[in-house]
Amino acid sequence: MKKTTLKFTATALILGTSLFGGIAGAAEFPERPVSMVVPFSAGGPTDTVARSLAEAMRSSLGETVLVENKGGAGGTIGVSHVARAKPDGHTILLMHIGFSTAQSLYKDPGYTSDSFEPIGLVLDVPMTIIARSDFPADNIEELVAYLKANPDKVSLANAGIGAASHLCGTMFANAIGVELLTIPYKGTGPAMNDLLGKQVDVMCDQTTNTSQHIKAGTVKAYAVTSKERVPTLPDLPTMQESGFDGFEVGIWHGMWAPKGTPQPALDKLQKALQDGLADKAFQERMLGLGANLLPARANPKALADHVNQQVPQWAELFKKAGIEPQ
């Protein structure tokens, strides 16, 4: 009897040792700062959301979140960079609607939805049609009339094919039947600098980039692309009110990790995203910039469902509009 107990104890000890040895050996995520890749230049709207969110996620993660800007090719350079990154949770992506649109605007954007593990939806932002402060049009009717009469004199800034500004600018130009000279940037941060410097004329961009300039009067604003007016910009009419029937664009942002990121790291990232969205300072900043928070959809299933519905929807729309992938 005694012998058996001893044997059992010895076995338990061996098992226990290897079990604890195993746990002690597997380092806890995060082991070092997490890199949040923004596929556009610093100073633009995606960057603004990312920097506020990175700060808001820090205490939940117990590590710093560093924003890394990798702009170019409508965001596809940064997105495909994350698709190829080591899947250990230390590299994540903060992108927007372009994640879906680029998949049918480029023959090879360098990724598919399957290259990623969805973490969750973040927020939704309306866009605004704006122009340099001395542009010769004071309201949307004057803007439309001017663009129709002078299409070859007007430059339209955007962040490259597949970017939100490209999408909105193209929809606007198509709706009024003009073709404008487009100037692509690596993000609408630098595009805004050139608009403020009067080197480009017109742009459609998120309120998270344009609000402060609209309020300060350093740009002219014509309309918002949301269904309802934006509470923080109450004087700006919607496109619908301005006679553009059904013209509605909302720029949703989402967060992803590379495919194969371990589940415990994904769980921590998702919890940190939810905690970040609940952070009062983050909420105040984003609501002040006209964004709508999406806490109920800050989970992998909601983002995966959204993308799975968006990718074919945009592919169909571009096909109907005769837009070929490049």
Q: In the bound complex, what is the minimum distance in angstroms from residue 192's beta carbon to ligand ASP? A: 9
> Cα separations (Å) of 105 from 124, 125, 251, 322, 323?
22, 22, 17, 11, 8
| Residue nearest ligand ASP, CB atom distance | 44
Q: Which H or E element spans position 285?
A: helix 280-288
| Binding residues vs ligand ASP (CB under 6 A) | 40, 44-46, 98, 158-159, 163-165, 187-189, 205-206
CA 148, chain centre distance (Å): 32
DSSP 87-100: SSSSEEEEEETHHH
Instruction: List the one residue out of 194, 204, 198, 200 whose CA is nearest residue 181.
Output: 200
Q: In the bound complex, what is the minimum distance in angstroms from residue 38's beta carbon to ligand ASP? A: 7
Q: In the bound complex, what is the minimum distance in angstroms from residue 24's beta carbon to ligand ASP? A: 42
Q: Which H or E element spans position 202?
A: strand 202-206
Q: In the bound complex, what is the minimum distance in angstroms from residue 164's beta carbon to ligand ASP? A: 4
- Rounded CA separation 53/48 (Å): 9
Torsion, Cα 119 227 76 261, to 10 degrees, reads 0
Nearer to ligand ASP, 115 or 165 (CB): 165
Nearer to ligand ASP, 73 or 265 (CB): 73
**278: number of Cβ within 10 Å:** 14
Nearer to ligand ASP, 48 or 115 (CB): 48
Q: Which amino acid is at 54?
A: A
Nearer to ligand ASP, 206 or 238 (CB): 206
Q: In the bound complex, what is the minimum distance in angstroms from residue 159's beta carbon to ligand ASP? A: 4
Nearer to ligand ASP, 278 or 318 (CB): 318
Nearer to ligand ASP, 212 or 299 (CB): 212
Q: In the bound complex, what is the minimum distance in angstroms from residue 226's beta carbon to ligand ASP? A: 15
- Rounded CA separation 254/212 (Å): 23
